[in-house]
Amino acid sequence: MTSKVDIFIGSIIHWNSEADQIEYIEQAAITVQDGRITELSSNATHISHLQSTQSNSITLLSSAQFLIPGLIDAHIHAPQYPNLGLGVDLPLLKWLDKYIFALERKFEDLIFAKHVYTKVVDKMIAHGTTTACYFGTIHTDSCLLLADIVQSKGQRALVGKVNMTVNCPQDYGETLQESLEETERFVAEMKKKNYSMVQPIITPRFAVTCEMATLQGLAQIASKHNLPIQTHLSENSDEIATVLKMNPGCRTYTEVYERAGLLTKKTILAHSIHLSDDELASIQQHSASIVHCPTSNCFLQSGVCDTVKTMYRGVNIALGTDMGAGYSPSILEVMRRAVDVSSVLTSCRKKEEKAKSSSDIQNQDEAEKMSSGTKLRPPLNFERAFQFATMGGATALNLADKVGNFSVGKQFDALLINLDAVNSPVDFTAHLNVQEKFVKFFFTGDDRI
Protein backbone atom coordinates (compact mmCIF):
# COMPACT_ATOMS: atom_id res chain seq x y z
CA MET A 1 0.00 0.00 0.00
CA THR A 2 1.38 3.42 -0.91
CA SER A 3 1.02 6.08 1.73
CA LYS A 4 -0.36 9.54 1.10
CA VAL A 5 2.06 12.23 0.04
CA ASP A 6 1.39 15.91 0.72
CA ILE A 7 3.29 18.58 -1.13
CA PHE A 8 3.40 22.23 -0.10
CA ILE A 9 4.62 24.74 -2.67
CA GLY A 10 5.47 28.34 -1.89
CA SER A 11 7.70 30.49 0.34
CA ILE A 12 9.36 28.96 3.38
CA ILE A 13 11.63 30.37 6.07
CA HIS A 14 13.62 28.26 8.50
CA TRP A 15 16.99 28.03 10.24
CA ASN A 16 19.55 26.12 8.21
CA SER A 17 21.65 24.50 10.96
CA GLU A 18 24.49 23.42 8.69
CA ALA A 19 25.00 26.92 7.32
CA ASP A 20 24.12 28.40 10.74
CA GLN A 21 21.90 31.02 9.14
CA ILE A 22 18.32 31.71 8.30
CA GLU A 23 17.17 30.43 4.93
CA TYR A 24 14.56 32.27 2.89
CA ILE A 25 13.25 30.20 -0.01
CA GLU A 26 10.89 31.96 -2.41
CA GLN A 27 9.50 28.94 -4.28
CA ALA A 28 10.12 25.82 -2.23
CA ALA A 29 8.46 22.42 -2.36
CA ILE A 30 8.18 20.37 0.83
CA THR A 31 7.16 16.75 0.40
CA VAL A 32 5.59 15.10 3.44
CA GLN A 33 4.90 11.40 3.86
CA ASP A 34 3.16 10.05 6.98
CA GLY A 35 3.86 13.33 8.78
CA ARG A 36 7.60 13.29 8.00
CA ILE A 37 9.47 15.54 5.58
CA THR A 38 10.91 13.38 2.82
CA GLU A 39 12.12 16.11 0.51
CA LEU A 40 12.83 19.84 0.60
CA SER A 41 13.51 21.48 -2.72
CA SER A 42 14.24 25.11 -3.40
CA ASN A 43 13.02 24.64 -6.93
CA ALA A 44 9.33 23.78 -6.97
CA THR A 45 9.20 22.75 -10.63
CA HIS A 46 10.80 19.32 -10.16
CA ILE A 47 7.74 17.87 -8.40
CA SER A 48 5.54 18.07 -11.49
CA HIS A 49 5.84 14.31 -12.05
CA LEU A 50 4.06 13.66 -8.75
CA GLN A 51 1.05 15.79 -9.55
CA SER A 52 -0.76 13.14 -11.52
CA THR A 53 -0.65 10.49 -8.78
CA GLN A 54 -4.01 10.22 -7.04
CA SER A 55 -2.61 9.74 -3.54
CA ASN A 56 -0.94 13.14 -3.62
CA SER A 57 -2.40 16.37 -2.35
CA ILE A 58 -0.77 19.58 -3.42
CA THR A 59 -1.17 22.83 -1.49
CA LEU A 60 -0.13 25.98 -3.32
CA LEU A 61 0.59 28.86 -0.95
CA SER A 62 -0.55 32.32 -2.03
CA SER A 63 1.93 35.18 -2.37
CA ALA A 64 0.79 36.47 1.06
CA GLN A 65 1.53 33.16 2.75
CA PHE A 66 4.64 31.36 3.94
CA LEU A 67 5.62 28.44 6.16
CA ILE A 68 7.82 28.60 9.24
CA PRO A 69 8.59 25.82 11.75
CA GLY A 70 6.29 25.62 14.78
CA LEU A 71 7.46 27.87 17.63
CA ILE A 72 8.95 26.39 20.81
CA ASP A 73 8.24 27.78 24.28
CA ALA A 74 10.96 26.24 26.41
CA HIS A 75 9.78 27.66 29.75
CA ILE A 76 6.18 28.08 30.82
CA HIS A 77 4.28 27.56 34.09
CA ALA A 78 0.90 26.14 33.01
CA PRO A 79 -0.81 26.69 36.40
CA GLN A 80 0.17 30.36 36.46
CA TYR A 81 -1.93 31.20 33.40
CA PRO A 82 -4.70 32.85 35.51
CA ASN A 83 -2.03 35.24 36.85
CA LEU A 84 -0.95 36.42 33.39
CA GLY A 85 -0.46 40.20 33.45
CA LEU A 86 -1.11 40.49 37.21
CA GLY A 87 1.36 41.22 39.99
CA VAL A 88 3.70 43.66 38.30
CA ASP A 89 4.44 45.36 41.62
CA LEU A 90 6.88 42.87 43.17
CA PRO A 91 10.25 41.24 42.45
CA LEU A 92 10.60 37.45 42.21
CA LEU A 93 10.66 36.10 45.78
CA LYS A 94 7.93 38.41 47.07
CA TRP A 95 5.90 37.84 43.89
CA LEU A 96 6.06 34.06 44.42
CA ASP A 97 4.90 34.45 48.03
CA LYS A 98 2.12 36.89 47.32
CA TYR A 99 0.67 35.62 44.04
CA ILE A 100 2.00 32.31 42.88
CA PHE A 101 2.16 29.74 45.65
CA ALA A 102 -1.47 30.40 46.66
CA LEU A 103 -2.56 29.95 43.03
CA GLU A 104 -0.55 26.78 42.46
CA ARG A 105 -1.95 25.22 45.64
CA LYS A 106 -5.39 25.21 44.00
CA PHE A 107 -4.26 22.61 41.46
CA GLU A 108 -4.80 19.87 43.99
CA ASP A 109 -8.39 20.21 42.72
CA LEU A 110 -8.53 18.31 39.44
CA ILE A 111 -11.65 20.12 38.22
CA PHE A 112 -9.94 23.49 38.60
CA ALA A 113 -6.79 22.04 37.02
CA LYS A 114 -8.72 20.73 34.01
CA HIS A 115 -10.38 24.11 33.50
CA VAL A 116 -7.12 26.08 33.54
CA TYR A 117 -4.96 23.53 31.69
CA THR A 118 -7.46 23.23 28.83
CA LYS A 119 -7.45 27.00 28.41
CA VAL A 120 -3.69 27.42 28.61
CA VAL A 121 -2.90 24.70 26.06
CA ASP A 122 -5.50 26.13 23.65
CA LYS A 123 -4.01 29.60 24.14
CA MET A 124 -0.48 28.39 23.42
CA ILE A 125 -1.50 26.56 20.26
CA ALA A 126 -3.40 29.66 19.08
CA HIS A 127 -0.11 31.57 19.40
CA GLY A 128 1.80 29.11 17.24
CA THR A 129 3.52 27.19 20.05
CA THR A 130 3.58 23.65 18.73
CA THR A 131 6.13 22.49 21.34
CA ALA A 132 6.25 23.55 25.00
CA CYS A 133 8.18 22.75 28.15
CA TYR A 134 5.76 23.01 31.07
CA PHE A 135 6.20 23.38 34.81
CA GLY A 136 3.12 21.96 36.57
CA THR A 137 2.67 22.06 40.36
CA ILE A 138 3.73 19.70 43.17
CA HIS A 139 0.52 17.67 42.58
CA THR A 140 1.31 14.50 40.62
CA ASP A 141 -2.25 13.81 39.47
CA SER A 142 -2.89 17.25 38.09
CA CYS A 143 0.46 17.11 36.23
CA LEU A 144 -0.65 13.80 34.70
CA LEU A 145 -3.89 15.52 33.70
CA LEU A 146 -1.89 18.30 32.03
CA ALA A 147 -0.03 15.63 30.05
CA ASP A 148 -3.38 14.07 28.97
CA ILE A 149 -4.70 17.45 27.80
CA VAL A 150 -1.52 18.30 25.87
CA GLN A 151 -1.52 14.90 24.14
CA SER A 152 -5.23 15.11 23.27
CA LYS A 153 -4.74 18.52 21.66
CA GLY A 154 -1.80 17.42 19.56
CA GLN A 155 0.83 19.67 21.08
CA ARG A 156 4.34 18.32 21.65
CA ALA A 157 5.57 18.87 25.21
CA LEU A 158 7.69 18.05 28.19
CA VAL A 159 5.70 18.16 31.43
CA GLY A 160 7.27 18.41 34.88
CA LYS A 161 5.93 17.71 38.35
CA VAL A 162 7.38 20.51 40.47
CA ASN A 163 9.50 19.68 43.53
CA MET A 164 9.83 21.97 46.54
CA THR A 165 10.88 20.81 49.99
CA VAL A 166 12.22 23.84 51.92
CA ASN A 167 11.30 27.52 52.29
CA CYS A 168 7.77 26.63 51.21
CA PRO A 169 4.50 28.05 52.51
CA GLN A 170 2.87 25.83 55.15
CA ASP A 171 0.20 24.48 52.83
CA TYR A 172 2.23 24.17 49.63
CA GLY A 173 5.31 22.00 49.95
CA GLU A 174 6.56 18.42 50.34
CA THR A 175 8.91 16.44 52.52
CA LEU A 176 12.03 15.10 50.84
CA GLN A 177 10.56 11.59 50.85
CA GLU A 178 7.21 12.69 49.37
CA SER A 179 8.98 14.72 46.72
CA LEU A 180 11.14 11.85 45.49
CA GLU A 181 8.43 9.18 45.78
CA GLU A 182 5.88 11.32 43.94
CA THR A 183 8.42 12.08 41.22
CA GLU A 184 9.03 8.35 40.74
CA ARG A 185 5.25 7.84 40.57
CA PHE A 186 4.90 10.63 38.01
CA VAL A 187 7.61 9.08 35.84
CA ALA A 188 6.11 5.57 36.17
CA GLU A 189 2.61 6.81 35.22
CA MET A 190 3.99 8.74 32.25
CA LYS A 191 5.82 5.64 31.09
CA LYS A 192 2.57 3.66 31.29
CA LYS A 193 0.80 6.29 29.19
CA ASN A 194 3.58 6.01 26.64
CA TYR A 195 2.42 9.16 24.86
CA SER A 196 3.82 9.90 21.42
CA MET A 197 3.93 13.67 21.98
CA VAL A 198 4.43 14.19 25.73
CA GLN A 199 7.40 13.19 27.88
CA PRO A 200 8.16 13.74 31.59
CA ILE A 201 10.87 16.14 32.72
CA ILE A 202 12.46 16.28 36.20
CA THR A 203 11.61 19.67 37.76
CA PRO A 204 13.29 20.93 40.92
CA ARG A 205 11.68 24.38 41.21
CA PHE A 206 14.94 26.16 42.15
CA ALA A 207 17.65 25.94 44.77
CA VAL A 208 15.73 28.24 47.13
CA THR A 209 12.98 25.64 47.62
CA CYS A 210 15.15 22.52 47.17
CA GLU A 211 17.97 21.68 49.56
CA MET A 212 21.00 19.74 48.33
CA ALA A 213 19.48 16.34 49.29
CA THR A 214 16.41 17.04 47.13
CA LEU A 215 18.53 18.25 44.22
CA GLN A 216 20.74 15.15 44.44
CA GLY A 217 17.77 12.78 44.76
CA LEU A 218 16.17 14.31 41.67
CA ALA A 219 19.44 14.15 39.73
CA GLN A 220 19.57 10.42 40.50
CA ILE A 221 16.01 9.90 39.25
CA ALA A 222 16.84 11.81 36.06
CA SER A 223 19.94 9.70 35.53
CA LYS A 224 18.17 6.40 36.29
CA HIS A 225 15.43 7.08 33.70
CA ASN A 226 17.60 9.10 31.30
CA LEU A 227 15.27 12.09 31.61
CA PRO A 228 15.65 15.81 30.90
CA ILE A 229 15.80 18.32 33.76
CA GLN A 230 14.40 21.85 34.04
CA THR A 231 14.89 24.43 36.75
CA HIS A 232 15.47 28.15 37.34
CA LEU A 233 18.93 29.66 37.60
CA SER A 234 20.20 33.09 38.60
CA GLU A 235 17.09 35.11 37.90
CA ASN A 236 17.18 37.61 40.75
CA SER A 237 19.83 38.97 43.14
CA ASP A 238 17.92 38.07 46.35
CA GLU A 239 17.44 34.55 44.99
CA ILE A 240 21.18 34.19 44.34
CA ALA A 241 22.07 35.48 47.82
CA THR A 242 19.63 33.00 49.43
CA VAL A 243 21.01 30.05 47.44
CA LEU A 244 24.62 30.90 48.33
CA LYS A 245 23.69 31.23 52.02
CA MET A 246 21.99 27.81 51.90
CA ASN A 247 25.04 26.24 50.21
CA PRO A 248 28.11 27.82 51.85
CA GLY A 249 30.45 25.32 50.17
CA CYS A 250 29.55 26.55 46.68
CA ARG A 251 31.09 29.62 45.10
CA THR A 252 28.27 30.14 42.60
CA TYR A 253 24.63 29.26 42.04
CA THR A 254 25.57 27.14 39.02
CA GLU A 255 27.99 25.17 41.18
CA VAL A 256 25.06 24.13 43.43
CA TYR A 257 23.38 22.41 40.48
CA GLU A 258 26.69 21.06 39.22
CA ARG A 259 27.51 19.46 42.59
CA ALA A 260 24.02 17.96 42.78
CA GLY A 261 24.56 16.29 39.39
CA LEU A 262 21.83 18.31 37.72
CA LEU A 263 23.90 19.76 34.88
CA THR A 264 23.58 17.46 31.88
CA LYS A 265 23.16 17.88 28.14
CA LYS A 266 19.43 17.52 28.75
CA THR A 267 19.25 20.32 31.34
CA ILE A 268 17.26 23.49 30.68
CA LEU A 269 18.11 26.48 32.88
CA ALA A 270 15.46 29.19 32.82
CA HIS A 271 16.47 32.87 33.02
CA SER A 272 20.24 32.49 33.71
CA ILE A 273 20.65 36.26 33.83
CA HIS A 274 23.41 37.07 36.32
CA LEU A 275 26.05 34.50 35.38
CA SER A 276 29.81 34.87 35.71
CA ASP A 277 32.15 33.73 32.95
CA ASP A 278 32.99 30.62 35.02
CA GLU A 279 29.33 29.72 35.30
CA LEU A 280 28.82 30.12 31.55
CA ALA A 281 31.88 27.93 30.96
CA SER A 282 30.50 25.24 33.25
CA ILE A 283 27.08 25.30 31.52
CA GLN A 284 28.82 25.07 28.16
CA GLN A 285 31.03 22.16 29.29
CA HIS A 286 27.96 20.20 30.35
CA SER A 287 26.17 21.12 27.08
CA ALA A 288 23.18 22.36 29.08
CA SER A 289 20.92 25.06 27.59
CA ILE A 290 19.57 28.30 28.95
CA VAL A 291 16.10 29.73 28.34
CA HIS A 292 15.91 33.47 27.81
CA CYS A 293 12.65 34.97 29.13
CA PRO A 294 12.84 38.71 28.35
CA THR A 295 9.15 39.59 28.86
CA SER A 296 9.21 38.04 32.31
CA ASN A 297 12.63 39.49 33.15
CA CYS A 298 11.27 42.98 32.42
CA PHE A 299 8.01 42.32 34.26
CA LEU A 300 9.66 41.12 37.48
CA GLN A 301 12.57 43.62 37.26
CA SER A 302 14.92 40.65 37.26
CA GLY A 303 17.61 42.07 34.97
CA VAL A 304 18.84 41.65 31.40
CA CYS A 305 20.37 38.42 30.14
CA ASP A 306 23.31 39.09 27.80
CA THR A 307 22.28 36.69 25.05
CA VAL A 308 25.07 37.78 22.71
CA LYS A 309 27.78 37.00 25.26
CA THR A 310 26.05 33.73 26.23
CA MET A 311 25.90 32.71 22.58
CA TYR A 312 29.56 33.57 21.96
CA ARG A 313 30.46 31.40 24.96
CA GLY A 314 28.97 28.47 23.06
CA VAL A 315 25.84 28.01 25.18
CA ASN A 316 22.65 27.00 23.39
CA ILE A 317 19.77 29.46 23.94
CA ALA A 318 16.02 28.83 23.76
CA LEU A 319 13.16 31.25 24.45
CA GLY A 320 10.38 31.13 27.04
CA THR A 321 7.29 33.15 27.87
CA ASP A 322 7.61 32.12 31.54
CA MET A 323 3.84 32.60 31.77
CA GLY A 324 2.34 33.73 34.29
CA ALA A 325 5.25 35.99 35.03
CA GLY A 326 5.02 38.51 32.30
CA TYR A 327 2.18 39.50 30.09
CA SER A 328 2.22 37.43 26.95
CA PRO A 329 1.57 33.85 25.84
CA SER A 330 3.33 34.58 22.55
CA ILE A 331 6.83 33.43 21.61
CA LEU A 332 6.69 35.93 18.73
CA GLU A 333 6.35 38.68 21.36
CA VAL A 334 9.25 37.12 23.29
CA MET A 335 11.40 37.17 20.11
CA ARG A 336 10.71 40.89 19.66
CA ARG A 337 11.51 41.62 23.32
CA ALA A 338 14.73 39.60 23.04
CA VAL A 339 15.84 41.90 20.23
CA ASP A 340 14.73 45.03 22.13
CA VAL A 341 16.46 44.23 25.43
CA SER A 342 19.66 43.29 23.62
CA SER A 343 19.64 46.64 21.76
CA VAL A 344 19.15 48.53 25.01
CA LEU A 345 21.93 46.55 26.69
CA THR A 346 24.32 47.31 23.83
CA SER A 347 23.57 51.02 23.84
CA CYS A 348 24.05 51.18 27.64
CA ARG A 349 27.36 49.37 27.29
CA LYS A 350 28.47 51.78 24.56
CA LYS A 351 27.67 54.70 26.80
CA GLU A 352 29.55 53.12 29.71
CA GLU A 353 32.58 52.41 27.52
CA LYS A 354 32.54 55.93 26.20
CA ALA A 355 32.35 57.44 29.69
CA LYS A 356 35.12 55.13 30.89
CA SER A 357 37.46 55.86 28.04
CA SER A 358 36.84 59.62 28.18
CA SER A 359 37.71 59.68 31.88
CA ASP A 360 40.68 57.37 31.26
CA ILE A 361 42.31 59.29 28.48
CA GLN A 362 40.73 62.72 28.73
CA ASN A 363 40.54 62.87 24.98
CA GLN A 364 37.17 63.13 23.30
CA ASP A 365 38.32 62.02 19.85
CA GLU A 366 40.03 58.92 21.19
CA ALA A 367 37.03 58.17 23.40
CA GLU A 368 34.74 58.34 20.39
CA LYS A 369 36.94 55.92 18.46
CA MET A 370 37.12 53.43 21.30
CA SER A 371 33.40 53.49 22.01
CA SER A 372 32.62 52.49 18.46
CA GLY A 373 35.55 50.09 18.31
CA THR A 374 35.62 46.33 18.14
CA LYS A 375 35.14 45.60 21.83
CA LEU A 376 31.37 45.63 21.69
CA ARG A 377 29.53 43.02 19.68
CA PRO A 378 26.40 44.04 17.81
CA PRO A 379 23.10 43.32 19.57
CA LEU A 380 20.96 40.27 18.90
CA ASN A 381 19.33 40.41 15.48
CA PHE A 382 15.82 39.19 14.67
CA GLU A 383 17.09 36.24 12.65
CA ARG A 384 19.07 34.87 15.59
CA ALA A 385 16.02 35.43 17.84
CA PHE A 386 14.10 33.24 15.38
CA GLN A 387 16.82 30.59 15.69
CA PHE A 388 16.40 30.67 19.50
CA ALA A 389 12.64 30.15 19.10
CA THR A 390 12.99 27.22 16.71
CA MET A 391 16.28 25.26 16.55
CA GLY A 392 17.52 26.64 19.89
CA GLY A 393 14.36 25.38 21.57
CA ALA A 394 14.51 22.04 19.77
CA THR A 395 18.12 21.53 20.89
CA ALA A 396 17.34 22.52 24.49
CA LEU A 397 14.44 20.07 24.64
CA ASN A 398 16.46 17.29 23.04
CA LEU A 399 14.07 17.27 20.08
CA ALA A 400 16.45 18.52 17.39
CA ASP A 401 16.00 15.29 15.42
CA LYS A 402 12.22 15.86 15.29
CA VAL A 403 11.38 19.57 15.08
CA GLY A 404 12.92 23.06 14.78
CA ASN A 405 13.41 23.34 11.02
CA PHE A 406 12.42 21.69 7.74
CA SER A 407 15.33 19.26 7.42
CA VAL A 408 14.52 15.99 5.69
CA GLY A 409 13.60 13.27 8.20
CA LYS A 410 11.95 15.61 10.71
CA GLN A 411 8.27 15.88 11.52
CA PHE A 412 6.36 18.36 9.38
CA ASP A 413 5.74 20.70 12.34
CA ALA A 414 4.88 23.99 10.66
CA LEU A 415 2.93 27.23 10.91
CA LEU A 416 1.21 28.65 7.85
CA ILE A 417 1.48 32.43 8.14
CA ASN A 418 -1.01 34.43 6.10
CA LEU A 419 -0.24 38.16 6.05
CA ASP A 420 -3.50 38.79 4.23
CA ALA A 421 -5.74 37.06 6.78
CA VAL A 422 -8.80 38.86 8.16
CA ASN A 423 -7.57 41.30 10.85
CA SER A 424 -3.94 40.73 9.87
CA PRO A 425 -1.72 43.41 11.44
CA VAL A 426 0.08 43.70 8.09
CA ASP A 427 -1.36 45.55 5.09
CA PHE A 428 -0.06 43.05 2.59
CA THR A 429 1.16 44.32 -0.74
CA ALA A 430 2.03 41.85 -3.45
CA HIS A 431 5.49 43.23 -4.21
CA LEU A 432 7.03 41.95 -0.94
CA ASN A 433 9.77 39.35 -1.30
CA VAL A 434 10.03 36.43 1.10
CA GLN A 435 12.47 38.18 3.43
CA GLU A 436 10.32 41.33 3.61
CA LYS A 437 7.26 39.20 4.33
CA PHE A 438 9.12 37.61 7.24
CA VAL A 439 10.32 40.96 8.62
CA LYS A 440 6.76 42.35 8.49
CA PHE A 441 5.51 39.27 10.30
CA PHE A 442 8.26 39.53 12.90
CA PHE A 443 7.99 43.18 13.81
CA THR A 444 4.41 44.21 13.14
CA GLY A 445 2.57 43.72 16.40
CA ASP A 446 -0.97 45.01 16.52
CA ASP A 447 -2.99 45.77 19.61
CA ARG A 448 -6.11 47.21 18.05
CA ILE A 449 -9.03 47.57 20.43
- Chain residues that interact with ligand GUN, rule: CB under 6 A: 77, 92, 96, 100, 205-206, 232, 235, 296, 322, 325
Contact 234, 306 (CB under 8 A): no
> What is the nearest approach in angstroms of ligand GUN to the Cβ of residue 262?
15
Beta-sheet pairing, 36-41 with 21-33: antiparallel
> What is the nearest approach in angstroms of ligand GUN to the Cβ of residue 339?
21
360 has which bridge partners?
A: none
> What is the nearest approach in angstroms of ligand GUN to the Cβ of residue 135?
7
> What is the nearest approach in angstroms of ligand GUN to the Cβ of residue 299?
9
> What is the nearest approach in angstroms of ligand GUN to the Cβ of residue 205?
5
Nearer to ligand GUN, 182 or 235 (CB): 235
> What is the nearest approach in angstroms of ligand GUN to the Cβ of residue 290?
14
Contact 430, 412 (CB under 8 A): no
Return the axis-axis angle of helices 434-443 and 331-361, rounded to nearest 10°: 90
The per-residue DSSP string of 111-176 comes to HHHHHHHHHHHHHHHHTTEEEEEEE--S-HHHHHHHHHHHHHHT-EEEEE-EE--SS--TTS---H
Q: How far apart are CA 101 and CA 92, in angstroms?
A: 12
Nearer to ligand GUN, 90 or 432 (CB): 90
Nearer to ligand GUN, 235 or 258 (CB): 235
> What is the nearest approach in angstroms of ligand GUN to the Cβ of residue 80?
6
| 429 Cβ neighbours under 8 A, 6+ residues apart | none
Contact 129, 73 (CB under 8 A): yes
Nearer to ligand GUN, 272 or 310 (CB): 272
- CA atoms in the 13 A half-sphere facing the CB of 307: 30
Q: Which helix (H) or strand (E) holds 354?
A: helix 331-361
Nearer to ligand GUN, 80 or 390 (CB): 80
> What is the nearest approach in angstroms of ligand GUN to the Cβ of residue 230?
11
Nearer to ligand GUN, 307 or 387 (CB): 307
> What is the nearest approach in angstroms of ligand GUN to the Cβ of residue 303?
12
| 340 Cβ neighbours under 8 A, 6+ residues apart | 294
Nearer to ligand GUN, 32 or 138 (CB): 138
CA distances from 33 to 255, 284, 444 (A): 46, 37, 34
Nearer to ligand GUN, 29 or 396 (CB): 396
Nearer to ligand GUN, 205 or 384 (CB): 205
Handedness of CA 315, 320, 325, 328 (dihedral sign): positive
Torsion of CA 416, 418, 424, 430, to 10 degrees: 160
